[in-house]
Structure 1
């Protein structure tokens, strides 16, 4: 699987609430983040889900590898408790243990690597939560990227175990999956 990013020319599609919430509702995302004060949002794009998270966290680092996505977010309006970070998931300019939670919605297939998972674990505080929602390789491919660019639940289970995360939940749905894991205590 090759690294790719979402085309900024299509960024308006990332603000389509009916389409986005069809595959991951705000409530579904926020549930595992309850009580998290500092959250890192990997692949934040135009801030669609970041805005939901920011309403319930003290501070959010909105991370995207494309500065064009941050430009789009600025045009829309960035909440005061969100800072925009242009970086790859495998090289985050954040301190060790900075976050109570790391979240990624529909971007795991774009950034996954052992180095990226190690970096997410590094920025998580001991016991911090990793919440991932993404397109499933086991899905029919009616929405999202082609199925050969996705990971299935078994892949994700293996990736997280290899990275030292403790998987607490993995829900499989027709087109997507949701994984919740914790960083081990120090």
Structure 2
């Protein structure tokens, strides 16, 4: 299902505030419905743009990225003390069963979407825990984000997550992106 990873040589693009037009901090926080003692994972964290926004609201955030170069850039920028770096793919998370209260991915689902990754999320998310997916929509224009043939639609995400044992709580398609909220 998934396609490519983001080129670390273009990582400065991940820090641009205009990313908020595709998904705001407030929208992400509202969708996650966090508690101060929650343990959360940012799947495909990159340089930590959204990780930084979530970290003040939880006990621990795992910044999960397949590319060590992205973690290096995040460390150089400066990461909050409650961020723990995990260099791994979404299909092989070195976390305990039911360890996470929530997970989220922002503009990275198209990079890791696979049966293995969703089964792994189902393993590490506690019963009742949430996964929030904000990604580029195949219904978009293609002016921003990855190539159209690398994108999924909201319906695809709903099907993928439900096949992995999640229940869809909410989902919306917007101009270029979709947001999907699921519980285990």
The separation in 2 between residues aligned to 1:40 and 1:102, in whole angstroms, is 5
Q: Which runs of 5+ in 2 are unaligned?
A: none
Equivalent residue for 1:158? Answer: 159
Q: Which structure 1 segments of 5+ residues have no match?
A: none
Deviation (angstroms), 1:35:
2.6
1:123 aligns with 2:124: yes
Partner of 1:138 in structure 2?
139
- Distance in 1 between the 2:143 and 2:110 partners? 16
- Counterpart residue number, 2:99: 98
Q: State the alpha-carbon separation in 2 of the partners of residues 96 and 49 from structure 1.
A: 24
Query: Residues 2 and 109 of structure 2 are in contact (CA less than 8 Å); yes or no, is this contact kept in structure 1?
Result: no
Paired residues for 1:1-186 under 5 Å? 3-18=3-18, 20-36=19-35, 37-183=38-184
CA RMSD across the alignment = 0.9
| Offset, 1:158 | 1.0
Whole-Å Cα distance in 2 between the matches of residues 151 and 35 of structure 1?
A: 26
* In structure 2, distance between residues paired with 1:57 and 1:17: 22
Deviation beyond 3 Å, 4+ runs, structure 1: none
CA distance in 1, matches of 2:178, 2:93: 25
Q: CA deviation at 1:2?
A: 5.4
